[in-house]
Amino acid sequence: MTNETHVWWKESVIYQIYPRSFADSDGDGIGDLNGITDHLPYLAKLGIDVIWLSPVYQSPNDDNGYDISDYRAIMEDFGTMEDFDRMLATAHRLGMRVVMDLVANHTSDEHVWFVESRSSRKSPYRDFYIWRDGHDGEPPNNWESVFSGPAWEYDEASDQWYLHLFSRKQPDLNWENPQTREAIYDMMRWWCDKGIDGWRMDVISMISKDQRFPDGQVGPDGYGDFFPYVVNGPRVHEFLREMNQEVLSHYDLLTVGEAGGVTIDEAKHYAAADGSELSMVFQFEHVDASLNEPAPLVGKWGTGKASMPKLRAILNKWQMELEGKAWNSLYWNNHDQPRVVSRFGDDRPKWRVRSAKMLATCLHMMKGTPYVYQGEELGMTNRHFSSIDECRDIEELNIWHQAVEELHMVTPEQMLACFDHVARDNVRTPMQWDASPNAGFTTGNPWIAVNPNYAEINAAACLADPDSVFYYYQRLIALRHSMPIIVYGTFHPLMEESEAIWAYERRLDGQTLTVACNWTDQPQPCPLWDDEPGTFVIGNYDTHEPGILKPYEAYVTVR
């Protein structure tokens, strides 16, 4: 028995759209809002409940919209506010909700707040950002930004430095200032009043900084690590509870915090079942697991692949420990994380479809709210990088400049091999709609090259094939809607000693759902159904042989 409160966002499946790469309606090579509206029936067919839109606000695009210059305007490349309103109304009419990206740790340096702030030490907006004096021409401390190089930028006119944990065009907002917070809340209310259905909160675990700004531990490239002084910072929960009081609690919203560095104990606060902060968080432990096996060459850049037992240990732990205390989000990839079938599965043609379905089963039968990233439902794969010229992401361009060109820490070949594994551009290639030129994404020149495998892997092909990854996701999503045990059942791990099979049970009101997934390309013995066959729920083969899981087989029953 579980006495979990029943709410729509626990019963939903979320689909993430990266607008730049989803669908281009006007031939400029960049996805846009009308492109999204055109494809809403496709999403309705998939059966998803909620769309999460990566940022569509006005932005100079230093970090593809995660650098906002006006929170209340739409990026020109993407269309107009009327286009947005039409997209929102159409989604609602088709029964889907829309969650927006809240990027409030930082703005663009072109945001009027920052332009004002920079204009003089006396500006009323000065304190909207984090300005400090340097030491003898050096920055206030040794922190390294996420996108390489120092986390402080010198402003000659006012002879001070501003903090930017990401690019120098993404100055960090000063959450210590109550006026900054009120300005953010006011903007959030404006969007909520428009009728949006929630927020995905960008790097929300980093909004509260240790005000002493101490030096961090120095890494191989000579910079210091800001993590201990920024992640889950001293006032983060206070700020989120305030935001909840001021804004969130007045609307019916799904809120999910992107919380790099979040621990289970911290998550119990961020996503507390009492609703005092957010609905749920994105934790990073499982996606970061690959990064240390073997050790990366520099920063996050390596070619490691996490083993199934390691991934299982992490996700099983989150399942068990949040039970009854906080709600999990379930994801394999997003616009920052490589394609799951390449990263954790097997993207060789022989196994790609089977493996993609197995991974989906393994995740979607767990307890929590599942997220599908555009193209995941087609089994889209990573791409191959043969030159830096193929890269668009500021993170790749900067690390290339620093580690390859400036410090000679890695060779170009080594870096490109790392890109093949973990570069964010792997997931930012255009959505593959059909086999026509540029995968039907655009009639123009795409802003980033299409993955060459689009002729084979695309939505039209999937829709024409009843056995496709698309229809498998459709079934998984429909099952979640029809079987409360998938939403609310408690989680119990099985066969934890197996090197090959990830298995678990869900239990609710005397019912048991049994899930087993073979993560290898070999048949594996599986005794789970020896005593009782149970009733078939879903699987990725036409037949199931007792006592065995075929290569990449996923099999689910209920009794």
Residue 458 CB, nearest approach to ligand GLC (Å): 25
Residue with tokens 């939903």: 12
Contacts with ligand GLC by CB under 6 A: the residue count is 9
Instruction: Name the residue among 274, 476, 498 with its Cα closest to residue 365.
Output: 476
Q: Which C-beta is closer to ligand GLC: that of 249 or that of 263?
A: 263
Rounded distance, CA 228 to CA 491, Å?
Answer: 32
Tell me the residue number closest to ligand GLC, measured at CB.
66
**66 near ligand GLC (CB under 6 A):** yes
Q: Which C-beta is closer to ligand GLC: that of 204 or that of 508?
A: 204
- Extended strands (E) in 264-339: 280-282, 327-330
Candidates 103, 248, 365, 448; binder of ligand GLC (CB under 6 A) is 103
**Cα dihedral 175/180/186/189 (nearest 10):** -20
The answer to whether residue 376 is catalytic is: no
143 close to 212: Cβ distance less than 8 angstroms: no
Q: How many CB atoms lie within 10 A of CB 387?
A: 8
Residue 103 CB, nearest approach to ligand GLC (Å): 6
Within 151-210, the residues that bind ligand GLC by CB under 6 A are 166, 202-203
Instruction: Name the residue among 57, 22, 40, 12 with its Cα closest to residue 427.
Output: 22
Give the DSSP letter of residue 403.
Answer: I
**287 near ligand GLC (CB under 6 A):** no
Tokens of 145: 């930004």
Instruction: Kindly give, in sequence order, each residue whose CB lies less than 8 Å from that of residue 219, ignoring residues fewer than 6 positions away.
Output: 144, 225
Residue 474 CB, nearest approach to ligand GLC (Å): 27
Binding mask 320-339 for ligand GLC (x = CB under 6 A): ---------------xx---
Give the DSSP letter of residue 445.
Answer: -
Which CA distances in Å does 264 have to 33, 113, 141, 191, 319?
37, 35, 30, 31, 10
Q: Which C-beta is closer to ligand GLC: that of 66 or that of 502?
A: 66
Q: How many CB atoms lie within 10 A of CB 235?
A: 15
Residue 260 CB, nearest approach to ligand GLC (Å): 7
Q: Which C-beta is closer to ligand GLC: that of 328 or that of 334?
A: 334
**247 near ligand GLC (CB under 6 A):** no
Catalytic residue among 49, 202, 505, 553: 202
Residue 426 CB, nearest approach to ligand GLC (Å): 13
The answer to whether residue 202 is catalytic is: yes
Handedness of CA 253, 265, 304, 229 (dihedral sign): positive
Catalytic residue among 32, 83, 258, 505: 258
Binding mask 454-493 for ligand GLC (x = CB under 6 A): ----------------------------------------
Residue 267 CB, nearest approach to ligand GLC (Å): 17
Residues acting as catalytic residues = 202, 258
